[in-house]
A = this chain, B = another copy of it.
């Protein structure tokens, strides 16, 4: 697959980079990709096309990388340093098509990037696609490798923004499957906020918000009391918003 459908359809100095978060094994991970084996890991991203806005570009890239639509997306910052984009891709005959090489040589020296973060449920996502048969992996935020460009900075800013957002909006459930237990939700909050929470207080706080629907089912297969399953309830959430409820942690 060629890098683009044709240079003239892209805004070559405007890109979008996505920090896609997920939870796996009680750890907060981000999706990284490697364009070529000789390059460092980087964030999934791409140029904005001439006929879409930044949100549309981010959604397109997310769908391309994860196969999932309607993921939670948040535009959190712009990275506009004149020197941030130092394109180190080795241009070798045989690795890139003639067309792609020509495109890369035409790229401007300066690209500003719009940073998005996304929340994805690990089970429902299958990182695929990407250009040039590239690799991709979920990487724990405490074990980031060397990254291309300023992508490490982008991830760090994304984590800060995620925390800030989580501190006053109940968005973390988007990292979980449709049905989840309160202990699972709590462990999620603990990972993201980086501190432990009291179980009793946490449960009561969540239930007082009254935005989750408690199901009849319980999670089985555990060597202790089986916890109830809950599901996010959009109607209840809207109602709570209208009442001016405060979701602060």
Contact = CB atoms under 8 A, between A and B. Distances in A.
Report the 6 A-B pairs with minimum CB-CB distance, sorted nearest first.
A54-B80, A53-B80, A53-B81, A51-B82, A54-B78, A78-B114
A231 interface: no
A184 interface: no
10 contacts: A13-B13, A14-B14, A14-B80, A50-B110, A53-B81, A54-B78, A54-B112, A55-B80, A75-B78, A168-B168
A11 interface: yes
A125 to B, nearest CB: 26
Contact of A11 (B13, B75, B114, B248): B13
Interface of A: 11, 13-14, 48, 50-55, 75, 77-78, 80-82, 110, 112, 114, 168, 246, 248
A194 to B, nearest CB: 12
- How many copies of this chain? 2
A204 B53 CA distance: 46
Contacts of A53: 80-82
Given A14-B13, A75-B77, A82 B112 contact: no
Contacts of A11: 13, 110
A52 B75 CA distance: 22
Contact of A82 (B50, B82, B110): B50
Contacts of A55: 80
A80 to B, nearest CB: 4
Contacts of A48: 80
Contacts of A52: 82
Nearest to A51: B82
A248 B246 CA distance: 10
Contacts of A81: 53
Contacts of A77: 75
